[in-house]
């Protein structure tokens, strides 16, 4: 059992689980995302904080079927959408074609394996993705993003951001999630049980508190780090690579 447990916590095991899960869920995510008002607000806030401009090269980490990428592409030169799920990338490219957008490239790869030329992009953006990574892989993704940015470039991450109940905000978020599900009757009780295993055992969802994100940004050498709570469970954190300085990180990826 101990061996099985530790294997489940490896990077390779998490990547396989996420790929399987999201390949199965790609269609329903694509259909449902626009009708989720919370998610839409976070997308809007990520875009506002990123301030996309003509000429920019943008990387969207965990782009899904294009909730950020399709919005940003008309405003910039080039968007590279990266996602672990080939099914999501196929939907991204189909959605881009339908919208007549030709400046998005889709790459099906786990973020943990992504390699990008240092100092080559203006913006790294991401929405509702990094809580699926193990904590050390979240930190590595932030550190890698800081290196990919040109001086003055921004990293903007929107995600569910709360810990496991050690402070008042966490407890408020968890209790409002539980109250909402309780109101749904037996179907909601089932969801509570399912979510308890997802969040508490940290199998599928591994959110961390806003303060942990701010620390990761600072450890990656980013400046002007700002955290913005957006909706109940979700926040946006933004940071800028200092101009004219080499980013020295203390984290390994
Ligand atoms: C909740 S969806 C969000 C999709 C999109 N960003 C949005 O705003 O709707 C999470 C996405 O993260 C992707 N994902 C999960 N783990 C990943 C990983 N390790 N590397 C790359 N993508 C990952 C999934 O395939 C999925 O498309």
CB of 65 sitting under 6 A from ligand 1: no
Continuous H helices in the chain: 2-8, 11-32, 37-50, 69-72, 86-98, 135-148, 168-182, 186-200, 210-219
The ligand 1 atom at the shortest distance from the C-alpha of residue 133 is 19
Distance of CA 211 from the midpoint of ligand 1 (Å): 22
pLDDT of residue 34: 83
Q: At what angle do helices 86-98 and 11-32 cross, to 10 degrees?
A: 30
Distance of CA 21 from the midpoint of ligand 1 (Å): 10
State the Cα–Cα distance between residues 14 and 133, nearest whole angstrom.
7
Strands 223-231 and 234-240: antiparallel
Distance of CA 129 from the midpoint of ligand 1 (Å): 5
CB of 14 sitting under 6 A from ligand 1: no
What tens-digit pLDDT sequence spans the chain (253 residues)?
A: 444 455 558 999 999 999 999 999 999 999 998 888 889 999 999 999 999 999 999 999 999 999 999 999 999 999 999 999 999 999 999 999 999 999 999 999 999 999 999 999 999 999 999 999 999 999 999 999 999 999 999 999 999 999 866 676 666 666 676 677 677 776 666 666 656 655 555 667 899 999 999 999 999 999 999 999 999 889 999 999 999 755 555 443 3
Q: Which two tokens stand for residue 147?
A: 């290196």
Distance of CA 31 from the midpoint of ligand 1 (Å): 15
CB of 220 sitting under 6 A from ligand 1: no
CB of 81 sitting under 6 A from ligand 1: no
Nearest CA to ligand 1 atom 5: 64
Distance of CA 165 from the midpoint of ligand 1 (Å): 25
């Amino acid at each position: 059992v101990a061996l099985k447990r530790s294997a489940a916590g490896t990077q390779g095991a998490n990547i396989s689980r996420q790929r399987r899960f999201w390949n199965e869920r790609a269609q329903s995510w694509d259909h449902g995302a626009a009708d989720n008002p919370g998610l839409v607000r976070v997308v809007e806030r990520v875009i506002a904080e990123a301030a996309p401009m003509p000429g920019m090269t943008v990387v969207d980490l965990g782009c899904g079927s294009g909730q950020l990428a399709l919005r940003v592409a008309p405003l910039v030169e080039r968007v590279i959408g990266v996602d672990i799920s080939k099914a999501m990338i196929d939907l991204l490219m189909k959605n881009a074609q339908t919208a007549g957008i030709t400046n998005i490239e889709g790459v099906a790869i786990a973020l943990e394996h992504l390699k990008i030329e240092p100092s080559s992009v203006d913006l790294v953006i991401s929405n509702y993705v990094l809580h699926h990574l193990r904590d050390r892989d979240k930190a590595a993704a932030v550190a890698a993003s800081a290196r990919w940015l040109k001086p003055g470039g921004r990293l903007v991450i929107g995600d569910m951001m709360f810990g496991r109940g050690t402070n008042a905000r966490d407890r408020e978020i968890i209790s409002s999630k539980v109250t909402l599900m309780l109101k749904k009757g037996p179907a909601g009780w089932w969801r509570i049980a399912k979510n308890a295993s997802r969040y508490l055992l940290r199998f599928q969802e591994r959110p961390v508190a806003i303060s942990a994100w701010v620390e990761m940004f600072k450890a990656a050498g980013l400046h002007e780090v700002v955290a913005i709570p957006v909706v109940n469970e979700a926040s946006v954190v933004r940071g800028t690579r200092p101009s004219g300085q080499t980013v020295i990180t203390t984290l390994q990826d």
